[in-house]
Amino acid sequence: MVAGPLGAEQSPSPGEKLARLAWPLVALVVLLGLVGYALLYSAAGGSHTPWALRHGIRLVVMTVLAVAIAMVDIRQLFRFAYPIYGVLLILLLAVEIVGEINKGAKRWIDIGIVQLQPSELMKLALVLALARYFHAAYLEEVRRPLFLVPPVLMILVPVGLVLKQPDLGTAGMLAMVGTAMLFLGGTAVWKFAAAGALAGAALPVAWSQLHDYQRQRVFTFLDPEADPLGAGYHIIQSKIAIGSGGFWGRGYLQGSQAQLSFLPEKHTDFAFTMLAEETGFVGALAVLALVLTITLAGMTVALRSESHFARLLAAGVTCNFALYAIINVAMVSGLIPVVGVPMPLVSYGGTAMLTVMLGLGLVLNAQVNRDTVIPRFPADL
């Protein structure tokens, strides 16, 4: 295929785009959001306030936003990938400096309507920037060690900043999404093994850098019974709630753990726990299946896209979405320490939903632009 100029002939009109949009995918995502709505209604003891209604409104607004993003010319995304990444890096630094001044963990910038959490949006920006970086790279280039220095820095700098906030969960997700991008970009597998060994060696150093409360979380995870009323409370109560749901669940609005307030943070990080208690193994499995379906649909978009940028973009964003769900469920079921990662579209919370829905917009964008060719080195960029 010859890299032509940025021709208008390859950019479909908005009408065409709307027509070819993967509406079933949109429907699945909205369905997941509606599960969240029903759950938050139950968490409030059968009330639309304070959570369910706001969740619903955000869902509607952000779905429109996602479709709007799908309408953008993918070459504009390509063009602005680095600037977007740069802006978020600056925001991250700004939060860091403000936090330094206030002597506390401040992770967000208050812009009035939403509290903007740059570390969340950074996940998407990182995917955009790395997709652009690897877009032009053939495998021979990727195999050169020096070629990998810039992308690794692009990952490590925000990871370091987020770790300093300190937000272990988000930092971990950023690192994992970044690693997935390197993998998809064609980095040799042995290099991951080497990096893994190196990270293992650096573990003691990292441990010494952790805050007391972070170490406490790890200890608590290893032995929750040691401190049943302190930090271990969340994990124990969550496992009890999930387990007591049984096969069919206790019934909607009937979960005694959640309703009797034994369950902490039932509307945010532990929303899935409540779902598992009230709807049982059947309901929990159904939601997991729904999340997996959305994930696989995203990966399919990646496989079907023409330009390398679009493929990497769709795959990276989808990995991010899947990671949310996997980490959250692993966390509430006691497989990993409590790191504060919400269940996408089910947990109450604006920033996480914004990240997921912006991500949906990016996947949809890749999907409607699947035939759009982006030259390796576009002339006007």
Partner 1 sequence: MHQEADRNRCFRRRTLLLGGLQVALFAGLATRLWQLQVRDAATYQLLAENNRISQRLTVPPRGVIVDRRGRALAVNAPTYRVRVVREQAGDLRRVLEALAEIVPLDARRIEEVVQQARLHRPFVPITVREDLSWEEVARIAVRGPELPGILLDSGLLRQYPHGPVTAHVVGYVGPVAEHELARETDPLLKLPDFRIGKSGIERAYDRELRGRAGLWRVEVNAIGREIREIDRNDGEEGADLQLSIDLDLQAYCMNRLAEQEAAAAVVLEVSTGAVLALASVPTYDPGAFAGGLSAALWRQLADDPRHPLVNKCIRGQYPPGSTFKMITAMAALEAGLVTPTSEVYCPGFMSLGNARFHCWKQHGHGRIALVQALAQSCDVYFYELARRVGIDALAAMARRFGLGETLGIDLPGEKPGLMPDSRWKRERLKQAWQKGETLVCGIGQGFVSATPLQLAVMTARLCNGGRAVRPWIVRGPHAHVHEGKGVPAPPVGVARANLELVLKGMFEVVNGPRGTAKASALPIAGTFMGGKTGTSQVRRISKTERALGAHKRMDRPREERDHALFVAYAPHDRPRYAVAVVVEHGESGAKAAAPIARDIMVEALKLEPGTPPGRLDMAARR
Residues 6+ apart with CB under 8 A from 140: none
CB 244, min distance to partner 1, A? 4
Closest CA relative to residue 176, chosen from 159, 193, 198? 159
* Nearer to partner 1 among residue 118 and residue 255 (C-beta): 255
Cα distances (angstroms) measured from residue 162 to each of 148, 223, 242, 278? 22, 27, 31, 35
380 binds partner 1 (CB under 8 A): no
357 binds partner 1 (CB under 8 A): no
Name which position in 155, 329, 339, 366 contacts partner 1 (CB under 8 A).
329
139 binds partner 1 (CB under 8 A): yes
Q: Which of residues 194-253 bind partner 1 (CB under 8 A)?
A: 212-213, 216, 227-231, 233, 237, 239-247
Q: How far apart are CA 5 and CA 375, in angstroms?
A: 8
CB 50, min distance to partner 1, A? 13
Helical residues (DSSP H) of the chain, grouped into ranges: 14-20, 23-43, 52-71, 74-102, 118-135, 139-143, 149-164, 168-185, 189-209, 212-222, 233-245, 256-259, 271-304, 308-332, 350-368
101 binds partner 1 (CB under 8 A): no
Name which position in 80, 82, 147, 281 contacts partner 1 (CB under 8 A).
281
At residue 109, the 3 state secondary structure works out as strand
Q: What is the dihedral of CA 186, 192, 195, 197, to 10 degrees?
A: -170
Q: Contact region for partner 1 (CB under 8 A) — 16-24, 45-53, 106-114, 328-336?
A: 328-336
CB 356, min distance to partner 1, A? 16
Residues 6+ apart with CB under 8 A from 363: 25, 298, 301, 313, 314, 317, 318
Name which position in 266, 267, 308, 370 contacts partner 1 (CB under 8 A).
308
254 binds partner 1 (CB under 8 A): no
Binding site residues, partner 1, CB under 8 A: 1, 138-140, 180, 183-184, 186, 212-213, 216, 227-231, 233, 237, 239-247, 256-257, 260-262, 264, 276, 280-281, 284-285, 288, 291-292, 295-296, 299, 302-303, 308, 311, 315, 319, 322, 326, 329-330, 333, 335
